Amino acid sequence: MKENPIGVFDSGVGGLTVLREITRQLPGENTIYLGDTARVPYGIKSRETVVRYSIEVARFLTKLDIKLLVVACNTASAYALPELKKRLRVPVIGVIEPGARAALRATRTRRIGIIGTQGTIRSNSYVDEINRLSGDETKEVAERGEKHFDRYFEIKTGKMVIFTKACPLFVPLAEEGWTSNDVARLTVEHYLKGLNDEKIDTLVLGCTHYPILKETIASVMGKGVALIDSAESTAIEVKRVLNEKGIGNDTGSPAAHRFFVTDSPERFIQVGRRFFGEGIKDAELAELEAP
Ligand code: DGL
């Protein structure tokens, strides 16, 4: 069991930011990554579709004897985690709970921002998780901002104020490698102006791609705002669960990393290097079965 791989799944290349953290914090672990590149993006799809896709991917990975599944995709974590936990025998870890926990630890002023795909923001899963962890509840929701691109939500709970905003253009920017040029900076400024004016002190990067834009986001938000990278907190949670269950790989043999995609391995390898470094030598095509 100890040598069995950790399965990591995402809609495409973005989850490599989570895999990168897992391999950094747990260098002895074997991993299998699946990017559902044929059906990316998940962020604009319905709950039903994302749940169905996630079940198909999880089934593929469990057949490869994974000892734990990491749902690196925020949208899939937001929509499909309960269903996956119900169906799988191995532990399932999503990115929402670790990110929410880290945000609660970081905030001093109790004014938190959350950014993600349209699906993640619509699902409200980060807010629900923050409420669950702090024993709080949503009291009031209001829409703020005037134009389409600067519209965001203000959610008052008993203990804090949470601002949520979908930033869909960050995904193609990160994949194109436009992370710190004028276009990236302007896009970040447009999307985050409202949250910046709200004087938040903590911002959750609730999407696999956003850590790639971290420096530009940090320079727009300013020094006083802590950026929460779900990838880092998720890797810490993986470590904790492996230790708790006694299934961490302590054999000392060199770790192997396998990559699967559902379309175009070449593009995955090329774009993936921006997210994971030179470690991706090869990617195999996966054929998923319908449930
Ligand atoms: N991986 C997705 C997420 O973290 C972003 C890309 C997509 O929309 O599929 O929500």
Select which of 57, 73, 212, 283 is catalytic. 73
Cβ atoms within 10 Å of 251's Cβ, excluding its own: 10
Give the per-residue pLDDT at 279.
75
Q: Do 128 and 213 fall within a single domain?
A: yes
Q: Do 189 and 278 fall within a single domain?
A: no
Q: Which of 228, 215, 217, 232 minimizes the C-alpha distance to 112?
A: 228
- Whether residue 105 lies inside any domain: the answer is yes
Confirm whether 167 is a catalytic residue: no
Q: Is the CB of 194 under 6 A from ligand 1?
A: no
Q: Do 226 and 146 fall within a single domain?
A: yes
C-alpha–C-alpha distance, residues 82 and 46, integer Å: 16
- Please write the tens of the pLDDT for every residue from 41-83: 999 999 999 999 999 999 999 999 999 999 999 999 999 999 9
Q: Is the CB of 205 under 6 A from ligand 1?
A: no
Domain final residue, candidates 230, 256, 274: 230
Q: Which domain holds residue 144?
A: 97-230
Contact 179, 173 (CB under 8 A): yes
- Whether residue 111 lies inside any domain: the answer is yes
C-alpha–C-alpha distance, residues 274 and 251, integer Å: 30
H/E segment holding residue 137: none
Q: Is the CB of 41 under 6 A from ligand 1?
A: yes
Give the per-residue pLDDT at 291.
65
Choice from 13, 19, 40 to test ligand 1 binding pocket (greatest atom count within 8 A of CB): 40
- Residue whose CA is at the smallest distance from ligand 1 atom 8: 43
- Whether residue 265 lies inside any domain: the answer is yes
Q: Which of 179, 155, 154, 157 minimizes the C-alpha distance to 169?
A: 179
- Buried residues in 29-58 as b, exposed as e (16+ CB within 10 A): bbbbbbbbbebbbbbebeeeebbbbbbbbb
- Whether residue 1 lies inside any domain: the answer is no
Q: Do 133 and 41 fall within a single domain?
A: no
Angle between helices 230-245 and 16-25 (to 10 degrees): 50
- Whether residue 207 lies inside any domain: the answer is yes
Centre of ligand 1 to C-alpha 1, Å, is 30
- Which residues of the chain have a pLDDT value below 50? none
Q: Do 87 and 191 fall within a single domain?
A: no
Centre of ligand 1 to C-alpha 253, Å, is 33
Number of domains into which the chain is organized: 2
Whether the CA torsion 8, 283, 45, 122 is positive or negative: it is: positive
- Whether residue 268 lies inside any domain: the answer is yes
- Residue whose CA is at the smallest distance from ligand 1 atom 2: 73
- Residue whose CA is at the smallest distance from ligand 1 atom 7: 41
Q: Do 134 and 216 fall within a single domain?
A: yes
Q: Do 53 and 114 fall within a single domain?
A: no
Q: Do 67 and 130 fall within a single domain?
A: no
H/E segment holding residue 8: strand 6-10
Give the per-residue pLDDT at 210.
95
- Whether residue 175 lies inside any domain: the answer is yes
Domain final residue, candidates 186, 207, 230: 230
CATH code at position 253: 3.40.50.1860
For strands 68-71 and 92-94, give the pairing. Answer: parallel
Percent helix, percent strand, percent coil in the chain, to nearest 5: 45, 20, 35
Contact 54, 71 (CB under 8 A): yes
Centre of ligand 1 to C-alpha 266, Å, is 20
List the structure tokens of 220: 């727009």
Angle between helices 96-106 and 125-134 (to 10 degrees): 60
Euclidean distance between the first and the last CA atom of the chain, given in angstroms as a whole number:
26
Look up residue 255 and give its DSSP letter: P
Residues with Cβ within 8 Å of residue 251, at least 6 apart in sequence: 2, 3, 28
Q: Do 219 and 102 fall within a single domain?
A: yes
Domain final residue, candidates 184, 215, 230: 230
Select which of 78, 81, 207, 238 is catalytic. 207
C-alpha–C-alpha distance, residues 45 and 121, integer Å: 12
C-alpha–C-alpha distance, residues 184 and 203, integer Å: 18
Q: Do 127 and 208 fall within a single domain?
A: yes
Confirm whether 73 is a catalytic residue: yes
Q: Do 127 and 145 fall within a single domain?
A: yes
Q: Do 129 and 211 fall within a single domain?
A: yes
- Whether residue 50 lies inside any domain: the answer is yes
Centre of ligand 1 to C-alpha 83, Å, is 18
